[in-house]
Amino acid sequence: MPSEIKTLGPTRRHSVRDGLLARPVLLWALFLVAITAIGILAKWLTPTLRPRPGGVGPVQVALQLGMLLMILPFAVRVGWDALGLRRLPASRDRLVLMFPTLTVVVGFFAGFRHVEVSTLTLAFTSVVLAGVVEETTFRGILLTRLLPRGPWTAVLLSSALFGLLHVANLFLGSPWQTVLLQVTFAAMAGTGYAAMRMRTGSLWPPVVLHALFDLTFRVTALEAGTPFHSAIQMLHGVGWLIYALIALRRAALVEEQCNTSLSRSKAST
């Protein structure tokens, strides 16, 4: 892997990339600026495009594709093993994943709305991209690079940064009250995703559950402001925060997962 990376381009480019990986908070800030700029540009170039039923449209998908292209060089540098993309959850991890899985699946009990095939295709594409891009960025790249600061710092800081990423929605026209709720609940949910990543050593559980959770708001009859919607949000926010604190309570296990991720990261570089 290292020899292949060195042949991809000038040494200076790789040194800049390594420097950003060594400063994960700065890397996050660049991501925030970049996706905000892409979103504003996309809305300016296509002012007539509007989200389809389910809140998804071509502009959103294009934004997610742009972010995928941005994180790919950093993901390659960190390494697929260190990111947890070459490992599937073991059978012993089923109990750890039971609560978050149930809280996501329950959203589908709201029933399904009638959507056109084109809308369903956009929705599916959007949630898959969101799961892959956001989890690779926050529970893959940033969490891995923050681990030298300690497991709890890595989990809490990467989750806070995940929540704060939603500040970009302010510049895309969302009301500040909505953005504040998004930041808060996304940060709490981020601790749950991080706990899954740390306990299983695999990035796939967060990717899949993230995509499924987003899908509930795209294809089900779940209506904002209803008691059922509020219950789902509380489960995914406060519930996942409590879940993370319990799942990561065994410091020895957390430390072991940290050492494993760090060794994989060093081996890939």
What band does 64 get if pLDDT is binned at 50, 70 and 90? confident
What band does 7 get if pLDDT is binned at 50, 70 and 90? very low
Say if residue 100's pLDDT is above 90: yes
Could you count the other beta carbons within 10 Å of the beta carbon of residue 230? 11
For the chain, give the mean pLDDT: 83
From CA 18, how far away is CA 6, in angstroms rounded?
12
Query: Once rounded to an integer, what is the mean pLDDT over residues 251-258?
Result: 55
Provide the angle, in degrees to the nearest 10, between the axes of the packed helices 251-268 and 151-164.
70
Say if residue 105's pLDDT is above 80: yes
By the 8 A CB rule, do 164 and 187 touch? yes
Closest C-alpha to 162, from 196, 186, 142 = 186
Torsion, Cα of 162, 100, 209, 127 (10° steps): -60
pLDDT of residue 198: 92
Written as six digits, the tokens of 152 are 């709890």
If one compares 96 and 7, the residue with the highest pLDDT of the two is 96
Written as six digits, the tokens of 25 are 């908070």
What band does 35 get if pLDDT is binned at 50, 70 and 90? confident
Say if residue 67's pLDDT is above 90: no
Q: What percentage of the chain has pLDDT greater than the value 70?
A: 82
By the 8 A CB rule, do 113 and 216 touch? no
By the 8 A CB rule, do 122 and 57 touch? yes
pLDDT of residue 222: 82
Burial of 180 (0-12, 13-18, 19+ CB in 10 A): middle
Tell me the whole-structure pTM to 2 decimals.
0.84
Say if residue 10's pLDDT is above 50: no
HSE-up (13 A, CA, CB side) for residue 265: 23
Q: Which region among 14-18, 23-27, 204-208 has the lowest average model confidence (pLDDT)?
A: 14-18
If one compares 118 and 201, the residue with the highest pLDDT of the two is 201
